Structure 1
Amino acid sequence: MKTKVSIIVPFYNTESYIGVCLNSLMRQTHSDIEILCINDGSTDTSCLIVEKFKAKDSRIHLMNLERSGPGISRNVGLDLCSGQYVMFCDSDDFYEAGMVSAMIRLMREDEEIDIAMCNCSVKRINDTKRQDQCYLYNERNGIFELTQSLKRAINIVLWNKIYKVSLLRRYDLRFIETSFHEDENFVFKYLSLSSKINFTRNVLYTYLYRDDSLSEKSFANPFHINEYLHCVSNFAEFLDRNSLWDRNHQYFAESVIHACHLAENKIFNKKRKDIFFEKIYFFSKRVDVRIITDKNIKMRFLEIQKGLRRKDLMQIPKKGNDVPIFFSCDDNYINYLSVVLQSILDHASDLYVYHIVILDCGITKDSLRVIEQQIAQYHNFTLNIISAISFLKENHKSFKEKDHFTYAIYGRFLIPEICSHFDKALYVDTDMIFCRDIASLMKIDIQDQYIAAVIDSKIEIDRMTNSWWHTYFKERLCLNTHNYYINSGLILLNLKKWREYSLHDKCISLLGSSKEFIFPDQDVINIICKDKIYYLDQSWNCTCPTHLVLDDELIMKKVKTSIFLEKLIAEYNVAYHGLNSVFHYTSNKKPWNMPHINHADKWWAFCKKTECYEIILFKQIQCFINGPVPERPLVLQGNNIKYYGLLGFYILKIKTTANNKKYYILGIRCGELIQEQYRKKYYIFGLRIFTVKSWDH
């Protein structure tokens, strides 16, 4: 069976070489070929030479273009090709007579082979020597799976390979329209979707190396670095469009590493270099470092991210009325970040410029797009997304997930490192809402204090009224009674002091110690900043669960023995009922999963204004559908009883009182949960199975 191969030959002013090139193609032992010559605006006699060859051989076709560049020329060739396979030949090089035939045999050895590659010889003109000459050679032989490491090891020249036209058409794979790196981009994309490659050590191609060629000029031209960044950007878009990221994270990471190498060694103007590094850092955030398997590549990539992220916020111009606001978030909480952000937007003043900075701990592009659209409507808000993945990875031994706390809680320790040109900044949790302008906090003069924050009213009540908590604070946290414990959900950071004393490094080091902390991030901030805290009014961080504690008569009796607690509770009550307070939904009881909790209506009012409202609402409906569907609760003798049915029959009954729950299956009591202040006891058929200690954050 005959197999047609299309050979694309773009040319520009190669009158001294193109005749040899075409002669080599016409002598191919495999005769079913078409030779597509694309004239890229030549001003010498190259076109006339091709016309003469065309008159001799009907397999030669000529297309004349105005000067357009190699990318456009090759795309024209791809549009014209009618073969099953396509190959490329530079107009100053030539094929061995059996090259096409040998390349076809390589492709036919296994149906999963998508590309084949041969070896080459290099012929030098005027004793010139290409700097990366060894890179052109191929010493491999046989069929290989295209792993990510192998993809990067394959050279990116076009002319020593053969490609399937069907794959090019299926994925709409084209050349980018640049002067440099268009071939590299093409090979990147083709290898990213390929399964296997077949190598031969046989020399089938002769590469003519001359110092006036376009490829040689690119090495000496700093402009080609910008073209390379376009190559990388287009590669990322291709991976997006075809959902190929899962098998190409490491491959893409190596292209970013190379971009960094070019910027470091080819650009000497500092301003220009910073611009390039900003672009490179943007690309680096596309990579999930956790998927990279090669330890050396992972380490180098983390170094690049760490070095570049420090520059990331330097692009924010200081206006004198700046309000930098940081969030640390992953995809679990991004929808709720939109709600707190809406409350900030609603109360913002035109007198300030609000810089929203999201420390990305694993957020999808679609989720970030919603936030971008939300902020785009406001002229005095900017949005900056900074990847915290590498930072979390670097410190994975110190950072631990606990209960409902994810790694995102540690993102705040990155702020002093990357925010070097601001003296103060705000950190905000995603489970809050603001009923006042957050910019007011920036006016507060906290002098030499490390942070300004609000005393955690509930924890201080627990500390004063429960001996276990009292011991925990004294022995584990080393906090005396005058070291009031703050809630870290809203913090005004004195960045000058944090940088001066490396407080963020001290926090990370303490987290890595053997101590077990109940609230890891919050506990270490209280320890490191003790005696250096400016205490804000309760209205700046009114923790909603505290109000439930105030209904406990036993606890309130103990509270009245402390003048400090009485004043704190009085201040809290004013904040709780105030119209201009900041509400914080601490613990695992959130308004989005428990819409009946105190002040949930305020949160939902802001939620309705966001694009995430329907998403959040749908999740709640979905949870309701997927869980057991209860009948309408019946209230009998003051006890809440819920029945759960199946096919019209009551299967499960749950009887709830103030301190326990009893579970009945088909009328038989099978389980009981007894709730005490800081522990839960679980019983099955009257036997205690285990006890769980619990604390609210």
Structure 2
Amino acid sequence: MTPLVSIIIPVYKVEKYIEKCMQSLLDQTYDNFEALVVDDGSPDSSIALAKELVGNDSRFIFFEKENGGQGSARNLGLDHARGEYIAFLDSDDSYTPYALETIVTEFKENSSFSILCFGVNKVDERGRLIQKSYSAGSITNTDSDVLLLKRTLTNYFWDKVFLSKHIKKFRFSIDIKTYEDVDLIYQVVFGQNIKVISSCLYNYTQRLGSTTYSVPISFIEDKKRVVKNSKDFLQKNDLLDNHRAYFNTYYLLEIFNKPLSTLIFFSRDFKHYQTNAKKLRQSDISIITIRNIRRLKKTRGLNIKTAILLYSFKLNSNLPYIIAKSKKIIKLKIKRLN
């Protein structure tokens, strides 16, 4: 008997992409799957388009719920998933035709791992390949990279497949709206044998040139919750004392470096930046030290811009924005002169 694969697909405002997502499942060379399509209160025609495309195919099971975010939609899928293996597919992305067949074959050939991680095709909105992203095949664990700071694995769920008996022990946070993957993935992979294959089975859609991104209201608070939860996790597993420097570097990355970069480039205006920067300033600013920045650089391969970004924020929370925008204006003037 061929094992059942459950694929959990949250849907919210993706009418431009949903048909391609559904079609990629209809095109699978392995057909023993169930697609748990969760309507997260989507206000557009996404669900109607999906239902029209799949017709009466009983492998597609639709659920409806009030909008609560991707985490709550995935939880609903986990509650109903019956498969031996469970995967997560974002509704603006798609699988390659041999994805499920490859996944099942890998699990059948080796029963020593509980999580399979595969490569990704980064594609544009027309499906044209931009870049392949993958790691060499291996069996790995995260003992030396508990919070995935060193990128032993990605922070995503959609480039992995999990044994049902393992992943069903977990649930996504419904309080964290923008970083539910980052908040949970290190807990799911901790202590597990993970098989990494180089096959690119997932098509990740990059919306190049999009100007619709904005800083969510919960952005800073979500970041703080993620880092607090990670510290609690290390303490619970008696890892914090031996990983103090590692955690400080993680804190620097997640609380300051990533949020500052996002605020600078996606805040509506200076006042919007100031409001969020003030919230960020309430975090532990003492973490911004030369030693921690050097560790971050060594771990993530970051450059001198990172040090300028972080130290300018330590001096004055408005400086990173002013410096970044000034450089942009200068470059624009030079371009016009040329």
Q: Answer whether TM exceeds 0.5 for this pair.
A: yes
Following the alignment from structure 2 to structure 1, what is the Cα–Cα distance between the partners of residues 242 and 84? 26
Give 1:9's aligned amino acid: I
The match for 2:167 is 168
After TM superposition, give the deviation of residue 294 of structure 1 in Å: 9.7
Q: Taking structure 1 as reference, are residues 82 and 145 closer, same or farther at Cα in structure 2, changes over 3 Å only?
A: same
Larger-Rg structure: 1
Following the alignment from structure 1 to structure 2, what is the Cα–Cα distance between the partners of residues 189 and 248? 16
Give 1:24's aligned amino acid: S
Asked whether the 8 Å contact 1:22–1:53 carries over to 2, the reply is yes
Q: Is 1:224 equivalent to 2:219 in the alignment?
A: yes
Give 2:205's aligned amino acid: L
Asked whether the 8 Å contact 2:125–2:207 carries over to 1, the reply is yes
After TM superposition, give the deviation of residue 60 of structure 1 in Å: 0.8
The match for 1:273 is 277
Q: Taking structure 1 as reference, are residues 117 and 253 closer, same or farther at Cα in structure 2, changes over 3 Å only?
A: farther
SS at match of 1:39: strand
SS at match of 2:22: helix
Query: Gaps spanning 5+ residues in structure 2: where?
Result: 265-269, 315-338
The match for 1:202 is 199
Give 2:176's aligned amino acid: T
> If the length of structure 2 is used for normalisation, what is the TM-score?
0.70
SS at match of 2:90: coil
Asked whether the 8 Å contact 2:10–2:37 carries over to 1, the reply is yes
Following the alignment from structure 1 to structure 2, what is the Cα–Cα distance between the partners of residues 24 and 295? 39
Pairwise mapping of residues 260-659 of structure 1 onto structure 2 (< 5 A)? Answer: 260-265=256-261, 266=263, 273=277, 275-280=279-284, 296=298
The match for 1:654 is none
Asked whether the 8 Å contact 1:148–1:248 carries over to 2, the reply is no
Which of residues 130, 136, 152 in structure 2 aligns to 1:140? 136
SS at match of 2:68: coil
Asked whether the 8 Å contact 2:40–2:67 carries over to 1, the reply is yes
Q: Taking structure 1 as reference, are residues 185 and 142 closer, same or farther at Cα in structure 2, changes over 3 Å only?
A: same
After TM superposition, give the deviation of residue 272 of structure 1 in Å: 5.0
Q: What percent of counterpart residues are identical?
A: 24
Following the alignment from structure 1 to structure 2, what is the Cα–Cα distance between the partners of residues 242 and 201? 31
Q: Taking structure 1 as reference, are residues 213 and 271 closer, same or farther at Cα in structure 2, changes over 3 Å only?
A: closer
The match for 2:124 is 124
After TM superposition, give the deviation of residue 123 of structure 1 in Å: 1.7
Query: Gaps spanning 5+ residues in structure 1: where?
Result: 312-697
Following the alignment from structure 1 to structure 2, what is the Cα–Cα distance between the partners of residues 83 and 89? 15
Q: Taking structure 1 as reference, are residues 58 and 264 closer, same or farther at Cα in structure 2, changes over 3 Å only?
A: closer
Pairwise mapping of residues 11-50 of structure 1 onto structure 2 (< 5 A)? Answer: 11-50=11-50
Following the alignment from structure 2 to structure 1, what is the Cα–Cα distance between the partners of residues 181 and 162? 13
After TM superposition, give the deviation of residue 52 of structure 1 in Å: 3.0
Give 2:183's aligned amino acid: N
Asked whether the 8 Å contact 1:87–1:161 carries over to 2, the reply is yes
After TM superposition, give the deviation of residue 264 of structure 1 in Å: 4.3
SS at match of 1:279: coil
Q: Deviations over 1:366-401 (max 9, x none)?
A: xxxxxxxxxxxxxxxxxxxxxxxxxxxxxxxxxxxx
After TM superposition, give the deviation of residue 101 of structure 1 in Å: 2.3
Q: Taking structure 1 as reference, are residues 160 and 256 closer, same or farther at Cα in structure 2, changes over 3 Å only?
A: same
Q: Taking structure 1 as reference, are residues 275 and 93 closer, same or farther at Cα in structure 2, changes over 3 Å only?
A: closer
Q: Is 1:235 equivalent to 2:234 in the alignment?
A: no
Following the alignment from structure 2 to structure 1, what is the Cα–Cα distance between the partners of residues 199 and 285? 41
After TM superposition, give the deviation of residue 244 of structure 1 in Å: 6.0
What's the C-alpha RMSD, in Å, of the aligned pairs? 3.8
Q: Taking structure 1 as reference, are residues 37 and 253 closer, same or farther at Cα in structure 2, changes over 3 Å only?
A: farther
Give 1:88's aligned amino acid: F
Q: Taking structure 1 as reference, are residues 108 and 178 closer, same or farther at Cα in structure 2, changes over 3 Å only?
A: same
The total of aligned residue pairs comes to: 286
SS at match of 2:76: helix
The match for 2:183 is 185
